[in-house]
A and B are shown apart, each in its own frame.
Chain A
Amino acid sequence: MVEFTINGKNVRAEKDETILNVARREGFDIPTLCYNDTLGSDGRCRLCMVEVRKGNRKRIVTSCLYPVESGVEVFTESPDVLLVRKTVLELLLARCPNSETIQYLAKEHGITKTRYMKDNDKGKCILCNLCVKTCEFNVGVAALCMSGKGPLKKVTTPYSEPSHDCIGCGACVAICPTGHIYMEDKDGVRTIWNKRFELARCPQCNRYHAPVEQLEFIATKSGTPMEQLLICPSCK
């Protein structure tokens, strides 16, 4: 067991826990965008920064990655923490001016406008990498990647061509914190990442419910017969 304080409150945690986990369990609000319970974190968005004081030393650390330590004092809203958090939100507001998620988070921190020129080519993508990771580790497909670096970095399919591996499952859409990824189901066809997927029709209710490629993927992975998968969840 590790004992330390968060905003003056004594807390206990398991050795390998992160500050973020403990803080949230103890009821402290730390905003995050790139963190997900199932996928861990790689410290991209920098919203969850907290101040850790150890004796005379103080550091601003990423709470989603920083392992708890005995005797430290953690502050989730120190002036430095708020400076970083507000700056990140103002920067993201300029990058994704149309993202409701960012607008909301920024407003919560007292930021309603940005001093920077607004981008119009980044959509709502904040490069949190969750879509890339969920596709690779949760779905097991790895159809997405990051390309480029610096301001040109973007999420895309390899060579920005329709991916052979994408099964059109939409897990990326579901995990995206800002609603950046475009997916449309229309007339029995799903369009996502520049690729069109034929949707399977439920033999019982006659409604379209999932891409055929996704059902085939599940059939191969799980050994479930295709006939069973074709029946939509509501009719099962």
Chain B
Amino acid sequence: MIVSIGQLDGIAAEYKQKSRVYSKIVKICCGTGCVSSGALKVHEKLSEFIKAENLSDKVLLKKTGCHGLCERGPIIVFGDDEILYQTVGKRNLEDDARLLLKTIQDGTIAENLLYKDDDKAKRYVSPRDIPFYAGQTRIVLSQNGIIDPEDIEEYISLGGYQAVHKALKADPMEIIDWIEKSGLRGRGGGGFPTGTKWRSCRDASGEPRYVIANGDEGDPGAFMDRSLMEGNPHAVIEGMIIGGYAVGSSQGFIYVRDEYPLAVQRLLMAIDKAREYGLLGSNIFNSGFNFDIKIFRGGGAFVCGESTALMSSIEGKTGEPRAKYIHTVEKGLWDKPSNLNNVETWACVPHIINKGWEWFGSIGTPQSKGTKVFSLVGKVKNTGLVEVPMGITLNEIIFKLGGGIHGSRKFKAVQTGGPSGGCIPGEYLAMPVDFDSLTKLGSMMGSGGMIVMDERDCMVDVARYFLKFLVDESCGKCTPCREGVRRMFEIVDNICSGNGSKGDVEHLEELARAIQLGSLCALGQSAPNPVLSTIKYFRDEYNVHIEQKKCPAGVCKALTTFIIDPEKCTGCMRCASECPVTCISGEKKKAHTIDQSKCIKCGTCYDVCKFDAVKYE
């Protein structure tokens, strides 16, 4: 049991002392991405080798949380960012494990495991030099990929739970002041000032009060919260203890979707450990303050990320939102004052307490302080998690950190803010990324999803995809969202299948406005965004679909025909061998042809042809 700062420091010192016996520390990323690319097998194999070489007491092989560069997983980092190896074990597990062992034994760097630029001209040894990492400012993710998320002592050794101690010495109102002055805004999407929310909750009448962490991340392609809960669960817990103390709550809930089993497991383990060390429970640090946390596993409905639906779900009711004319800080969970923040917001809190609100406020833009974690996915070279200061441009994120677009294609748009966000075209890439700028562009920050699209993405089809998602995920409570969004989907689906008619775009705009105005919750109110933003920036594409019955990107199957230009075709047979329905025929070194009656318009032939011979129209 830890009751004093001395004991906390003692554990930290002891841990550091213990680590000193290891001459080498090897960190294997065991985030979800790397695990699915085989990180556990690499760990197993390398452990075997280390054991066989009798190095177990000299080498510390650690499983860490997500390192961020998921595209190149499994990722392994030596020491304190000395060497980064990527795609380890992807070619040959045995060989790669031997290379790792060699690095451990005599420091020999395995050249072919290093991160390389596209043209392979430059190789990077330290992750600090790789543009993907060099361009980041890691605060929330600062310990992700470094610590073992299952080891509370390691978290403590890096200053963990110091913020709780500091906070419990202060007056709750003082903490709220700090958070307000830091300029921290909600990371879950709304961007509401966190300190103001805490103050309203503290001022609301009613007992008990609750604090809740929203870990119901549901946007397609988003995994910031997941990586945080899996990679550094104590940061979330620590933030919640401080928040609980500030608003006057002794019970916290973490709402995690059940599709994140590892997050659930790590959080449960972290809560158990925190209780064991006296950092959760009664009389924390002898302050008289009691606080505990329960995990609530969500069933995976997207709408349960909405605060009132989430609370309804915790209460055991159907996850349906309710009108928020009376805010949840006044009447939330079981009609009691409840303070809900996103997990990333909670994880910012200990840093603000430790380093001061002035420090946090010095990062970012005047209206959007601090950093934001984005999951960068889609047609970008370096997919993964990036944490960047607010105000960085989209250009920097996509082209510097993300390395630009795969292959030789051109950037077309970036979708931010998840299904309720919007698509931003190339002309706005110089815009700073902050809450207000993205909203002005017709998109939003959302929880931080960023899907990059190239010229082979059809914007009408993108709108169709997000609408389909929202049709399925609408809770069905209110008419505009339940009925309206599916009718928007029908119209867009018709356009994609060549059945669009004049006036459809205007009809979509009218319906969209009614849905925005008339829906009960933020899901419905923002559901038309993908359609409105694509109409705003890519209206021509809608018109070409409707008037000329063509899909300029060659995606909408009913409007696309792939053909082979006999002049350019060299008869290399690549397309014929890759075609999944074998509808391409032709002799070697002679022009090939596509049997249109069998073609499924997947575009594989177009993608693989090196001679620009496959075209679509």
Bound-complex Cα distance A157 to B198 (A): 41
B487 & A91 in contact (Cβ 8 Å cutoff): yes
- Cβ contacts under 8 Å, B472 to chain A: 149-150
- Within 237-264 of B, Cβ neighbours of A (below 8 Å) are at none
**A65 with B301: CB separation less than 8 A:** no
A142 to chain B, nearest CB (A): 12
Does A149 lie within 8 Å of B483, measured CB to CB? Answer: no
B325 touches A67 (CB 8 A): yes
Candidates A91, A117, A149; contact of B480 at CB < 8 Å: A91
Task: Name the B residues within 8 Å of A61 (CB-CB).
Answer: 325
Q: How far is the CA of A92 from the CA of B483 in the complex (A)?
A: 8
Collect the chain A residues with CB atoms within 8 Å of residue B471's CB. 150-151
**With A43-B478, A45-B479, A153-B482 known to touch, is A83 a contact of B487 (CB < 8 Å)?**
no
Residues of A within 8 A of B475 (CB): 149-150, 153
Whether the pair A46, B325 counts as a contact (CB closer than 8 A) is no
Interface string of B474-507 (1 = CB under 8 A from A): 1111111011101100100000000000000001
> Within the complex, what minimum Cβ distance (angstroms) separates A69 from chain B?
10
Interface residues on B, range: 20 to 34
Known: A95-B483, A149-B474, A151-B471. A80 touches B520 (CB 8 A): no
Q: Does B513 contact A (CB under 8 A)?
A: yes
Contact status A87-B473, CB under 8 Å:
no
Q: Is A226 an interface residue (CB 8 A)?
A: no
Q: Does B579 contact A (CB under 8 A)?
A: no
Chain A residues with Cβ below 8 Å from B482 are 127, 150-151, 153
- A residues near B325, Cβ cutoff 8 Å: 61, 65-67
Size category of the A interface is 20 to 34
Instruction: Determine if B511 is an interface residue (Cβ-Cβ < 8 Å).
Output: yes
Picked from A45, A87, A150, the residue with its CB within 8 Å of the CB of B476 is A150
Given contacts A43-B322, A60-B517, contact A87 B480 (CB under 8 A): yes
- B513 touching A152, Cβ below 8 Å: no
Within 8 A of B (CB), among A113-132: 115-117, 126-127
Q: Tell me which residues from 80 to 131 in chain A have a Cβ below 8 Å from any Cβ of chain B.
A: 80, 83-84, 86-88, 91-92, 94-95, 115-117, 126-127
* Residue among B477, B519, B520 with the highest chain A CB neighbour number at 10 A: B477
Per the bound structure, the CA–CA distance linking A152 and B482 in Å amounts to: 9
Q: In the bound complex, what is the Cα–Cα distance between A198 and B486 (angstroms)?
A: 42
Pick the contact of A117: B326, B484, B490, B514 (CB < 8 A): B490
Nearest residue in B to A69 (C-beta to C-beta)? Answer: B325
Asked whether B487 lies within 8 Å of A49 as measured between CB atoms, the reply is no
Write out the residue numbers on chain B whose beta carbons fall within 8 Å of the beta carbon of A60.
517-518
Task: Assess whether A14 is interfacial by the CB under 8 Å rule.
Answer: no
Dominant SS among interface residues on chain A: mixed
* Inter-subunit contact A151/B323 (CB<8 Å): no
- A83→B514 contact, CB < 8 A: yes
Nearest Cβ in chain B — how far from A203, in angstroms? 44
Chain A residues contacting B480 (CB-CB under 8 Å) are 46, 84, 87-88, 91
Task: Specify the chain A residue showing the minimal Cβ separation from B487.
Answer: A116
B318 part of interface (Cβ distance < 8 Å): yes
Task: Compute how far the CA of A84 lies from the CA of B479 in the bound complex, rounded to whole angstroms.
Answer: 10
Question: Judging by beta carbons under 8 Å apart, are A152 and B476 in contact?
Answer: yes
Is the C-beta of A29 less than 8 angstroms from some C-beta in chain B? no
Q: How far is the CB of A126 from chain B (nearest CB, A)?
A: 7
Q: Separation in Å of the A213 CB from the closest CB of chain B?
A: 27
**Given the interface contacts A43-B322, A80-B517, A84-B514, does A91 sit within 8 Å of B476 by beta carbon?**
no
Question: Cβ of A116: which chain B residues have Cβ within 8 Å of it?
Answer: 487, 490
Judge if A11 is at the interface, Cβ distance under 8 Å.
no
Q: B479–A91 contact, CB under 8 A?
A: yes
A42 at the interface (CB under 8 A from B): yes
Are A153 and B514 in touch, CB under 8 angstroms? no
Which residues in B have their C-beta under 8 angstroms from that of A126? 479
A149 touches B476 (CB 8 A): yes
A233: interface (CB < 8 Å): no
- Please state if B322 and A42 are interface contacts (CB–CB under 8 Å): yes
Which B-chain residue is minimally distant from A85 (CB atoms)? B518
Within 8 A of A (CB), among B2-40: none
Most chain A beta-carbon contacts within 10 A, residue among B318, B478, B483? B483
Nearest CB in chain A: distance from B502 CB, A: 13
Given known A83-B514, A87-B514, A153-B482, contact A146–B520 (CB-CB < 8 A):
no
Asked if A62 lies at the interface with its beta carbon under 8 angstroms from chain B, I say yes
The minimal Cβ–Cβ distance linking B455 to chain A, given in whole angstroms, is 33
Min distance, Cβ B47 to any Cβ of chain A, angstroms: 45
A153-B517 in contact (CB<8A): no
Q: Which 9 A-B pairs have the closest CB atoms?
A: A153-B476, A87-B514, A84-B518, A91-B483, A150-B474, A60-B517, A65-B323, A46-B518, A88-B479
27 interchain pairs, CB-CB under 8 A: A42-B322, A43-B323, A44-B478, A44-B520, A45-B479, A46-B478, A46-B479, A62-B520, A67-B325, A83-B514, A84-B480, A86-B514, A87-B511, A88-B518, A91-B480, A91-B487, A95-B483, A116-B487, A126-B479, A127-B476, A127-B477, A127-B479, A149-B473, A149-B475, A151-B471, A151-B476, A151-B486
Where the two chains meet, the residues of B that have a C-beta atom closer than 8 Å to any C-beta of A are 301, 303, 318, 322-323, 325-326, 471-480, 482-484, 486-487, 490, 507, 510-511, 513-515, 517-520
